[in-house]
Amino acid sequence: MMTLRPSNERGYADHGWLKSFHSFSFADYYDPAHMGFGNLRVINEDRVAPGSGFGTHGHRDMEIISYVLSGALAHQDSMGNGRGRDKPSGVILPGDVQRMSAGRGVMHSEFNHAQDTSAHFLQIWIEPRHRGIEPGYEQKHFAAADKRGALRLIASPDGRDDSVTVHADASLYAGLFDGDESATLALDPQRKAYVHLVRGTLRVNGVALSGGDAVMLEAEPTLHLDGGSDAEVLVFDLAR
């Protein structure tokens, strides 16, 4: 079964410095029909104005993935990331995937220091396998060439294929498709899959999507992507 989640049905918030589309209920946007999908809880498409950002705030018991589309975000947290020469820089650029395990509690901030360019990124929350774990941080870059006409694993429970490690029963793939490029992914019909088209146009199992659209798949054995035009897509393999 495939269910379309059209871009124009997402929640939307305009805070001036932040414009955000919500695929699932978040903050002041509440839709009981869209509280999450499997253990995927949040996909926010955020645009942060120049010289603005999220001030220091806290999270706990959530796996949080940031996927930057354009611009840059400077990350700092209570684990020491983004502070000092011996710590990861915390600057997230296009092609980077940042994973922060909030665990038993972490404080962090995200800021767009550019004075003339917005930062456009996806904020993704996945429910963890276990609560109260040690907070953690990881950041890796995935080259566009590795995603071209393919689904590149970028996050997984075991960090296989040099993906970032999420403490959740979920795997995340990213792909770039144009023209005749296509990819097929075998699915476990006992699990769920969620396809989020970041930009461009693409066919998902024959269904045409445009940027911001998504498809929820249940009891499907195969995912096939083709017919792309300047398409960037994320595919989630999720626990029920």
Q: Any idea what the CATH number is for the domain that residue 26 is in?
A: 2.60.120.10
Which H, E and C letters describe the chain, residue by residue?
A: CEEEECHHHCEEEECCCEEEEECCCECCECCCCCCCECCEEEEEEEEECCCEEEEEEEECCCEEEEEEEECCEEEEECCCCCCCCCCCCCEECCCEEEEEECCCCEEEEEEECCCCCCEEEEEEEECCCCCCCCCEEEEEECCHHHHECCCEEEEECCCHHHCEECCCCEEEEEEEECCCCCEEEECCCCCEEEEEEEEEEEEECCEEEECCCEEEEECCCEEEEEEEEEEEEEEEEECC
| pTM tops 0.85, yes or no | yes
Residue 77: its pLDDT value, please? Answer: 82
How open is the CA angle 70-73-74, to the nearest 5 degrees?
A: 155
| Nearest C-alpha neighbor of 39 from the set 170, 235, 172 | 170
Domain count, the chain: 1
C-alpha separations of 204 from 176, 224, 226, 238 in Å? 13, 6, 7, 17
Query: For 206-218, b where at least 16 C-beta lie within 10 A, e where not — what string?
Result: eeebebbbbbbbb
Return the structure tokens found at 118: 């917005």
How many other β-carbons are positioned within 10 Å of the β-carbon of residue 12? Answer: 11
Tokens 């029963």 identify what position? 169
Specify the amino acid at residue 192: K
pLDDT tens, residue order, the chain (240 aa): 999 999 999 999 999 999 999 999 999 999 999 999 999 999 999 999 999 988 888 889 999 999 999 999 998 888 888 865 555 567 899 999 999 999 999 998 898 999 999 999 999 999 999 999 999 999 999 999 999 999 999 999 999 999 999 999 999 999 999 999 999 999 999 999 999 999 999 999 999 999 999 999 999 999 999 999 999 999 999 998
Residue ranges making up the domain that contains 93: 2-238
Residue 203: its pLDDT value, please? Answer: 98
Residue 87: its pLDDT value, please? Answer: 52
Residue 19: its pLDDT value, please? Answer: 97
User: CA-to-CA distance for 83 and 76, rounded, in angstroms?
Assistant: 7
